[in-house]
Amino acid sequence: MSDHKKNLDIKSILTENRLKGLWNLMSGYQGLYIGAMLYQTVAALAKSGTYLLLEYFVDNFLLAQTAGVDVWVVAVGFILLFLFQGVATFLSQKSAAQTAEGTIQRLRDYLYDHIQNLTFAYHAKTDTGDLVQRCTSDVDALRRFYADQAIGVGRIIILFLVNFIAILRLNTKLALLSVIVVPIVVFVSIYFFRKVSHAYEAYQEQDAILSTTLQENLSGVRVVKAFARQPYEITKFERDNLEKYKRGRKLLTIHSLFWPISDVLCGAQLLAGYYIGARMAISGDISIGTYMAYAGLVVWIIYPLRNLGRMIVQMSNGLVSYDRIYKIIKEDREPLDKGSFHGKEAIRGDIIFENVSFHYEDGSEVLHDISFECKAGMAIALLGSTGSGKTSLVNLLPRFYDFTEGVVLLDGYDLRLYSRRFLRERIGIVEQEPFLFSRSIYENITFGVKEEVSQEQVEQAAKMAAVHDVILGFPQGYKTLVGERGVTLSGGQKQRIAIARTFLKDPRILILDDSTSSVDAETEVHIQAAIHSLMQNRTTFIIAHRVQTIMKADLILVMDNGRIIQKGSHNELIQQDGIYHSIFDIQTKIEEDLQKEISSAS
């Protein structure tokens, strides 16, 4: 594929006008597709020429000896016409296939790249199953549109025009009588086209819902089993599948109604044409050769016309799929490189929030008047109930979202002056449930770095995360493939591999999202040691629900309903009446009671 074809900015050429958008999508292949149509024209001319030559042969060789050429010349004519038809048909199908596959390969690549660069907010509100459906089923519907349906409609129109002109040459009256049904079939096709468009779109939407249900269930299969919720999930899937069945049945019913109607109309037209042509031949208005040529030509008017209706109805699938794909492509990409700072500059990690507020696109405000100051290398802990705004606050740092009021300063400059790519390359995140790809452990650890790293660097990062010995315990060591989402590893092992990945990235700012909430006490000791080492000389934000994990933080922010209601060090907050003191008392009592029970059991 040439660079022009490969690097085409698809978003800039697509429009809401579906036919124009589909034509523009073929940029770089349009000449090839026109060539496919021209080859179809040559094939249609050769086919019509065969029947006209048949007329000449019957009238001038079989019924009378009036031919001015030898019979072998006619035989060679038939052979050449068949050869032209076969070669032209092959070249047409090849050109159409090259256009379809090339256009769709480019579209798939662009879609994947485009989705990777869409905003955090878009992915937060869009179902994964729906995106997968649009990138697979809908894209394949466009491939069929180019490879079969559009070229098929062109072929049918060309066959109709060429053969109709050929019949006009034979007999004008017979030609006009042979196309009476054409307007009726076209009207019926357009009517069913509209019906199928709505039914197919509804079917695709439900198919996306079913894909989302399946994807979520497979991703959370361990949770389903742990809570013995298989019957509930099966019932939910069956309900969604039943709805898909109903919509699919409606779609097929519309298709099924179209076929007998078009068959009756086209069949009646064909029989009427044969009857009228036979009567004209018997009465001497046309010759036997003319009738035989007509009998062959009229078939290539009526049956392509019947298929035209089918093609028009099926094209609705491609047009609906174009709309569904266009809705993704017209979404604005995240401007990763927009900003004054986007080079190799280092950052210290001084951060200041001044009266910062943030609300989502729907207007719901999640942060209100947030103010605090963080010096480079400090550890800032965020404590609060679920939904208090902790994660929303730290999501502002890598600019997953931009604050709507106030100002955030990084090293004295407005955070929005730093490009998103610049920030994300210098911020490390260890999530509560770290995601591991279905790749080797080595590839998962090196995922966060762009430059080449040595095996020694990877092993050093693993040692600092206290997971090197665990990795060597696997038969293939660092080449061990982990399952989807890392399911072949324990929770603690996944967490430490994620920490090793962050060590190797060597970020200046670190975000720890409740990194030890889902592991046992022994594993937590190892992870806490690794995290403590990781935090050295880095500005760190720690999201936690347990006071015991944040007591050593330089500054603790207690949040509720998007506001900071208390802030200070542990020693300062423990002296104040408030939520922090209450949480500390409750959690301390729970741990003391637990220790007593363990001691009693021992």
Least confident of 212-221, 229-238, 493-502, 568-577: 212-221
Give, in order, the Cα–Cα distances in Å from 275 to each of 178, 289, 299. 11, 16, 14
Q: Contact 209/332 with Cβ under 8 angstroms?
A: no
Can you give the pLDDT at residue 602? 58
Q: Contact 556/542 with Cβ under 8 angstroms?
A: no
Mean pLDDT along residues 216-237: 77
Length of the chain: 602
Nearest to 272 by CA among 295, 304, 246, 244: 295
Q: Are residues 280 and 373 in the same domain?
A: no
Do the domain assignments include residue 453?
Answer: yes
Q: What is the mean pLDDT of the chain?
A: 84
Q: Provide the token pair at 350.
A: 């001084």
Mean pLDDT along residues 136-145: 90
Q: Provide the token pair at 375.
A: 């010096």
Residue where a domain terminates, one of 298, 329, 360: 329
Q: H-helix or E-strand containing 371? A: strand 365-374
Phi, psi of 537 (to 5 degrees): 60, 25
Do the domain assignments include residue 344?
Answer: no
Do the domain assignments include residue 4?
Answer: no
pLDDT at residue 68 greater than cutoff 80: no
Do the domain assignments include residue 346?
Answer: no
pLDDT in tens, 378-436: 999 998 888 888 889 999 999 999 999 999 999 989 999 998 888 988 888 888 778 88
Nearest to 285 by CA among 145, 170, 128, 161: 170
Q: Kindly give the residue spans of alpha helices, DSSP state H, lying in 554-578.
A: 570-573
Mean pLDDT along residues 512-526: 64
Can you give the pLDDT at residue 368? 93
Give the full edge-to-edge strand order of the sheet including 379-384: 427-430, 509-513, 539-544, 379-384, 555-560, 563-568
Residue given tokens 């060590």 in the structure block: 503
Do the domain assignments include residue 172?
Answer: yes
Can you give the pLDDT at residue 306? 75
Q: Which residues pair with 510 in a beta bridge?
A: 428, 540
Q: Are residues 93 and 163 in the same domain?
A: yes
Q: H-helix or E-strand containing 366? A: strand 365-374
Q: Are residues 371 and 315 in the same domain?
A: no
Q: Are residues 430 and 316 in the same domain?
A: no
Its sign, for the CA torsion 468, 469, 474, 475, is: positive
pLDDT at residue 94 greater than cutoff 90: yes
* Backbone conformation region of residue 75, classed left if phi is above 0, alpha if psi is from -120 to 50, else beta: alpha
Q: Are residues 27 and 130 in the same domain?
A: yes
Do the domain assignments include residue 336?
Answer: no
pLDDT in tens, 9-56: 888 888 889 889 999 999 989 999 999 999 988 998 898 888 888 888
pLDDT in tens, 240-298: 899 989 988 988 888 778 778 888 888 888 888 889 989 898 988 888 888 888 888 88
Q: Are residues 362 and 289 in the same domain?
A: no
pLDDT at residue 486 greater than cutoff 70: no
Can you give the pLDDT at residue 5? 58
Q: Are residues 231 and 369 in the same domain?
A: no
Do the domain assignments include residue 93?
Answer: yes
| More confident of the two residues 195 and 345 | 195
Q: Provide the token pair at 11.
A: 């978003």
Q: Are residues 113 and 167 in the same domain?
A: yes
Can you give the pLDDT at residue 557? 92
Give the range of the structural domain holding residue 431, as residue numbers without chain letter: 351-595
Mean pLDDT along residues 82-103: 92
Residue given tokens 């019947």 in the structure block: 306
Share of the chain above pLDDT 70, in %: 93
Report how many domains make up the chain.
2
Measured distance CA(281)–CA(28) in Å, rounded: 51
Q: Are residues 282 and 361 in the same domain?
A: no
| Axis-axis angle for helices 71-116, 288-329 (nearest 10) | 10
Taking residue 503's Cβ as centre, other Cβ atoms within 10 Å add up to 23
CATH code where residue 550 lies: 3.40.50.300
Q: H-helix or E-strand containing 430? A: strand 427-430
Q: Are residues 265 and 398 in the same domain?
A: no
DSSP 437-462: -SSBHHHHHGGG--S---HHHHHHHH
| Axis-axis angle for helices 288-329, 150-170 (nearest 10) | 160
Measured distance CA(169)–CA(386) in Å, rounded: 81
Residues 6+ apart with CB under 8 A from 449: 504, 505
